[in-house]
Amino acid sequence: MTLEQGRSGRRLTATITDLDVARQKALLVGVDVEGGRLGDMDRSMEELRLLTDTAGSTPVGMAVLKRRSPHAATFVGPGQAEDLAQDAGRLDVDVVVFDNSLTPGQQRNLQQLFECDVVDRVAVILDIFAQHATSREGMLQVELALLRYRLPRLRGKGTELSRLGGGIGTRGPGETKLETDRRRIMSRISHVERRLKDVHSSREGQRKSRAGAALPMASLVGYTNAGKSTLMNALTRAGVRTEDRVFSTLDSTTRRLELPNGRLLLLSDTVGFVRRLPHQLVDAFRSTLQETAGADLLIHVVDSSDPGAPDQAAAVREVLDSIGAGGIPEMLVLNKTDLADQAASARLRRLYPEAVSVSALEMTGLDQLQSRLVDHLARGSQQVELLVPYVRGEILGRLRREAEILAEEHRAEGTMVSARIPPDRAARYREFTVG
Ligand SMILES: Nc1nc2c(ncn2[C@@H]2O[C@H](COP(=O)(O)OP(=O)(O)OP(=O)(O)O)[C@@H](O)[C@H]2O)c(=O)[nH]1
Ligand SMILES: [Mg+2]
């Protein structure tokens, strides 16, 4: 890529030779409006490049512009819009992708000016989700998000009237095409919402039966591509798909994890986060995300080889707050230590002294992570002596899952057990406590 310093900002114009001709060509545009730090803008644009590429278009040019405040009609200023239209023509792009969110009106106006498609980051993320969703629930959630995004973007052609039937009783002003489209989308939205409700209530049933099993639950959370699924596989052999691309996981997978001291934990892997995750998606994926919000512990996976790791961690915490998971205890895991250079690793360890360093791919640091999980579960636990009658064998089974057994002895009256029980489980065993 070559860098030009123009009057309206910096312009990067790519000359990428290994172009896949079947793919759409895209011009990426980022507008620095709040006078934010340059580094942030660069990282955001790099991410937009990755998102656009994942969505199936090849970025062939990039423009980073400055503007004090967005122009009401076109977001960028008139001169900037003209420059961009020229770039779009010269590079012969199919689509111009804005990193900033555009209003439906701005999007429409720019489309006319550039004579090609114009989309924003939200649309790109929605598009990736639409391509990757595979489960029934995932597809319904994505469709809901897409419909809600499209609704305000319907284009009104005031003169185009569509009349139902056309006979007596249908005469009169008729209904604009916009109104019928809008009504169609709204009725589809309520249809999808109803179907989702069904899926959610059956999931709620599953969740309840799991709550009955009384296993603590830990959720893997983190920025997309941080290595959550790889870590899930390394710990549980779950066989979740992992890929070097964003949003490869959209559905949740939950597996049992047996810790070194024999205690069981449910571990779930779910959708990754990204900076400025579209609110339509957060809303639509609320139930998937709520599973995270119901966890006893969040295992926050950070890609320590990414220079933007601290920003990514902050973005993840923001999303967690927005779904009501901000108060759940968090264990920070610095992943991909095999890729990170030493200076960067040292810097991250200083920033997050409490974090565990691992490489999920090379399976290093996992022992330490597991023992931290053991410690976490045992936090605040009390050592108790229990006498469990032989007829209550099921109690021992449960105890083995929920507590750490220190000693066991068979007596005439039953099994004498010495165990460390977490505080939230202690009440269940009170009737067996001795001494
Ligand atoms: N070198 C290295 N690569 C890793 C490590 N962990 C994961 N990766 C790679 O990083 C990429 C993303 O891994 P995933 O496990 O799919 O990441 P994820 O967080 O589940 O991503 P999404 O589901 O897309 O949000 C894959 O290509 C992995 O092979 C690691 O410790 N070291
Ligand atoms: Mg994944």
341 lies in the same domain as 395 = no
244 lies in the same domain as 296 = yes
Q: Report how far ligand 1's centroid is from the alpha carbon of 246 (Å).
A: 9
188 lies in the same domain as 312 = no
Residue that terminates a domain, selected from 352, 377, 402: 377
**What is the predicted pLDDT for the residue at 417?**
94
In 3D, which of 166, 165, 128 has the Cα closest to residue 145? 128
- Confirm if 212 and 428 have CB atoms less than 8 A apart: no
Most confident of 44-58, 218-232, 410-424: 218-232
**What is the predicted pLDDT for the residue at 387?**
93
Ligand nearest to the CA of 223: 1
Residue 171 lies in a domain: no
219 lies in the same domain as 299 = yes
Calculate Rg over the CA atoms of the chain. Answer: 27
Domain hosting residue 392, numbered range: 380-432
The tally of domains found in the chain comes to 4
What average pLDDT does this structure show over 379-399?
87
335 lies in the same domain as 426 = no
d(Cα 302, Cα 306) in Å, to the nearest integer? Answer: 9
Most confident of 79-93, 305-319, 382-396: 79-93
- The answer to whether the CB of 360 is under 6 A from ligand 1 is yes
Q: Report how far ligand 2's centroid is from the alpha carbon of 112 (Å).
A: 38
Range with lowest mean pLDDT among 252-261, 301-310, 361-370: 252-261
194 lies in the same domain as 318 = no
The CATH number for 241's domain is: 3.40.50.300
Instruction: Give the residue whose CA is nearest to atom 21 of ligand 1.
Output: 225
- Confirm if 250 and 138 have CB atoms less than 8 A apart: yes
- The answer to whether the CB of 366 is under 6 A from ligand 1 is no
Residue 164 lies in a domain: no
Q: Taking each helix axis from N to C terminus, what angle separates 78-91 and 104-114, rounded to the nearest 10 degrees?
A: 50
Tell me the CA end-to-end span of the chain in Å, nearest whole number. 75
Tell me how far the alpha carbon of residue 76 is from its chain's centroid: 29
Residue 388 lies in a domain: yes
**What is the predicted pLDDT for the residue at 22?**
56
**What is the predicted pLDDT for the residue at 36?**
62
The CATH number for 414's domain is: 3.30.70
Q: Report every protein residue that has its C-beta within 5 angstroms of ion ligand 2.
A: 229, 249
Residue 302 lies in a domain: yes
d(Cα 435, Cα 419) in Å, to the nearest integer? Answer: 14
Residue that terminates a domain, selected from 162, 195, 214: 214
230 lies in the same domain as 342 = yes
3-state class of 69 per DSSP?
A: coil
335 lies in the same domain as 225 = yes
284 lies in the same domain as 350 = yes
- Confirm if 276 and 121 have CB atoms less than 8 A apart: yes
Residue 329 lies in a domain: yes
Residue 392 lies in a domain: yes
In 72-153 the beta strands, taken as DSSP E runs, fall at 95-98, 117-120
- Confirm if 132 and 281 have CB atoms less than 8 A apart: no
d(Cα 36, Cα 154) in Å, to the nearest integer? Answer: 32
41 lies in the same domain as 8 = yes
Please indicate whether residue 65 or residue 13 has the higher confidence score (pLDDT). 65
- Ligand 1 atom nearest to CA at 337: 31
Residue 42 lies in a domain: yes
pTM of the model: 0.78
- The answer to whether the CB of 228 is under 6 A from ligand 1 is yes
- Ligand 1 atom nearest to CA at 249: 23
The answer, yes or no, to whether residue 227 has pLDDT greater than 90, is yes
d(Cα 137, Cα 203) in Å, to the nearest integer? Answer: 10
- Ligand 1 atom nearest to CA at 250: 23
Q: Report how far ligand 1's centroid is from the alpha carbon of 299 (Å).
A: 15
410 lies in the same domain as 400 = yes
d(Cα 92, Cα 95) in Å, to the nearest integer? Answer: 9
Residue 119 lies in a domain: yes
d(Cα 89, Cα 185) in Å, to the nearest integer? Answer: 34
232 lies in the same domain as 373 = yes
**What is the predicted pLDDT for the residue at 35?**
64
- Ligand 1 atom nearest to CA at 232: 15
Residue that terminates a domain, selected from 360, 377, 394: 377
Confidence band of 17 (pLDDT split at 50, 70, 90): very low
